[in-house]
Amino acid sequence: MPYFKVLQYVPCWLPQTQLWLYEQFTHLPDSFIPHIVCEEVQNLDQFSMQHLHCRNRMPQIVRLQRRLAWKFGLIPFDSYVDNVAKKVGISIMHSHWGHIAWRNLRTASRLKVPHIASFYGIDVRYLLTVNPLLKKLYKELFLKIDLVLALGPKMASELEDIGCPWKKIIVHHLGVDLTHLPFQPRKWDIGQPLRVLIAGTFKVQKGIPYALDALSKIKGYADLEITIIGDATDDDRSQNEKKQIMNSVKRLKLDAMVRFLGYQPYKALISEAYKNHIFLSPSITSSEGDMEGTPIIIAEMAATGIPIVSTFHSDIPEIIQHGETGWLAKEKDSDELAACLHYLIMNYESWEPFLTKGRHHIEKNFDVQCQATKLAEIYKLFIP
């Protein structure tokens, strides 16, 4: 059996919130061997990989020598990637995030290998807003890249709008490992506390203040217990969002109902999910155009059998079919979110049929083994 080595380039291997990348690589068919190249590493205890190459793990003296050699034109800037690629003999290069793919254009050209780019949301609109120069760089990217992967049809349309030829775009869903997500349809009854889970990094596009506002509107209908998993990054925007969240809790008098668990390992997050009755995830588009792709946590939650309330945001309707497998509200509309939550409370005896349908939808369209096999088929399009 022939083996094909795929250079997977990511900026960092691997933040806790990017388990979906780990799943994507580790479920590829055995004939496709991923070699991860990155600039820094973290959480290796959770996301160990056999073939991991990190630029910043080279001895400092070696990094200094290479920087000087690049400064004087003796080696190309990305010679580290070149060396790794030539040493392992890669068949294809897969860059993750659009701006990263542009940086790797010359490397792929020097190596004479096919080059695929995956976009994930922040790189479609927000980065173009904060860095207009990227529009020119993306023009070059879309001209030279072999293929672009979008998470859903909405993102595919956005990519076409910013200049990517439609013929170079393929919609490819991320996948979830269903073997670790048993289906346990949630049940709730009047008189019980209604436990609601919110999870995600504290970013504007997660819409957590709107979630809290919606919950404040229905607290008279049920005894609420609200769990928030996640925290802010060091980024100023994220820190500011954390302040907004804390202020919302205080202003809406939810202090006694909310508990913050901070960041949690994946297993702890899933364990907590099975203790809750509803997952609330009202994503929004920020004023700078920052948006989600397909938040994979929504697919994971749907697979477990928890009712989901989210929004008509980006490609979330690819995961949740409104009124059939979950409930969606308009972005930034806490009244509509509250109406969805109220519907669940009033119809607590009829949750199971739509939860079952939701599980089947995830099995059909977001199973990681199927999606990894489809990714391998995409790779094969460019391998002789």
Domain ranges of the chain: 4-175+367-380, 178-365
Please determine, for residue 318, whether its predicted confidence score (pLDDT) is greater than 50. yes
Please determine, for residue 143, whether its predicted confidence score (pLDDT) is greater than 70. yes
Q: For position 70, what pLDDT does the model report?
A: 42
178-365 fold: Rossmann fold (3.40.50)
Q: Which CATH superfamily is domain 4-175+367-380 in?
A: Glycogen Phosphorylase B; (3.40.50.2000)
Q: For position 57, what pLDDT does the model report?
A: 56
Please determine, for residue 88, whether its predicted confidence score (pLDDT) is greater than 80. yes
Q: What is the mean pLDDT of the chain?
A: 93
Q: How far apart are CA 41 and CA 5, in angstroms?
A: 21
| Share of residues in the chain with pLDDT > 70 (%) | 94
> How sure is the predictor about 293, in pLDDT bands with cuts at 50, 70 and 90?
confident
Please determine, for residue 268, whether its predicted confidence score (pLDDT) is greater than 70. yes
**pTM as predicted:** 0.91
